């Protein structure tokens, strides 16, 4: 798979530190604040942001994990490729300021699903959105309050955020999915020709 690294581990560290500062400044402190990470990579990102905020403010803030599988409108109802994970919010969200955290903001449909899931859990005072990468191509009127990096991309490209907690390394890469599909089709075609050749007894 061909990939281009567009953010290194140090880039990721600096961006998270900046977002943590912005969250503190916008909320004029951290009272009533809860960070909620969306599975999968939003969860470790939320934990890292909480760690950064704790270093700056010397106060530990609650961090939750949110699964949106049952709320998504871009997957078939019985999609087996999207396993249901555990939603774990450590405190009541009524009247709290929620910072929803995800790795990549694309169409906005996942964020809409996440807000529906949160509202089912309580009535927060506000919901803010922190994403590590905004790649554009929105299909819904959703905008992030905090962005690690804006990366304009073509639809055939894929932005992947890799984290040590989930992938063993920290990096952000861009992959041309159309090119990968083309290579895969060529490989499948070659295999098919080879099978036909040997299958015919030649």
Q: Work out the average pLDDT over 11-39.
A: 97
What is the Cα–Cα distance from 127 to 118, expressed in whole angstroms? 9
Q: Is residue 68 a contact partner of residue 114, using CB atoms and an 8 Å limit?
A: yes
* 164: in domain: yes
* 188: in domain: no
* 195: in domain: no
* 189: in domain: no
The CATH number linked to 40 is: 3.40.50.2020
* 193: in domain: no
Which class for 67: exposed (0-12), middle (13-18), buried (19 or more C-beta within 10 A)? buried
Choose among 16, 37, 181, 20: nearest CA to 7: 16
* 157: in domain: yes
- pLDDT tens digits, one per residue of 67-80: 999 898 766 654 54
* 113: in domain: yes
Judge whether residue 61 has pLDDT over 90. Answer: yes
Q: Is residue 100 a contact partner of residue 129, using CB atoms and an 8 Å limit?
A: yes
**pLDDT score, position 2:** 80
**pTM of the predicted structure, to 2 decimals:** 0.85
What is the Cα–Cα distance from 115 to 47, expressed in whole angstroms? 19
Q: Work out the average pLDDT over 66-95.
A: 79
Mean pLDDT of the chain: 88
Domain of 13? 4-175
Q: Work out the average pLDDT over 165-194.
A: 69
Please state the domain count of the chain.
Answer: 1
- pLDDT tens digits, one per residue of 108-138: 999 999 999 999 999 999 999 999 999 999 9
Q: Is residue 104 a contact partner of residue 133, using CB atoms and an 8 Å limit?
A: yes
* 190: in domain: no
């Amino acid at each position: 798979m061909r990939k281009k690294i567009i953010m290194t581990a140090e880039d990721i560290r600096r961006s998270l530190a900046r977002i943590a500062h912005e969250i503190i400044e916008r909320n004029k402190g951290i009272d009533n604040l809860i960070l909620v990470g969306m599975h999968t990579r939003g969860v470790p990102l939320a934990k890292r942001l909480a760690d950064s905020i704790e270093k700056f403010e010397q106060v530990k803030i609650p961090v939750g994990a949110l699964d949106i599988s049952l709320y998504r409108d871009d997957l078939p109802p019985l999609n087996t490729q999207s396993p249901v994970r555990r939603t774990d919010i450590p405190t009541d969200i009524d009247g709290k300021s929620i910072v929803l955290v995800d790795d990549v903001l694309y169409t906005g449909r996942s964020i809409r699903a996440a807000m529906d899931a949160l509202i089912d859990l309580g009535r927060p005072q506000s919901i803010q959105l922190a994403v590590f990468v905004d790649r554009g191509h929105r299909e819904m009127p959703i905008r992030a309050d905090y962005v690690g990096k804006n990366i304009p991309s073509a639809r055939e490209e894929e932005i992947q955020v890799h984290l040590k907690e989930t992938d063993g390394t920290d990096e952000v890469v861009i992959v041309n999915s159309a090119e990968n599909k083309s290579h895969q089709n060529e490989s499948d075609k070659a295999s098919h020709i080879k099978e036909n050749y040997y299958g015919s007894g030649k």
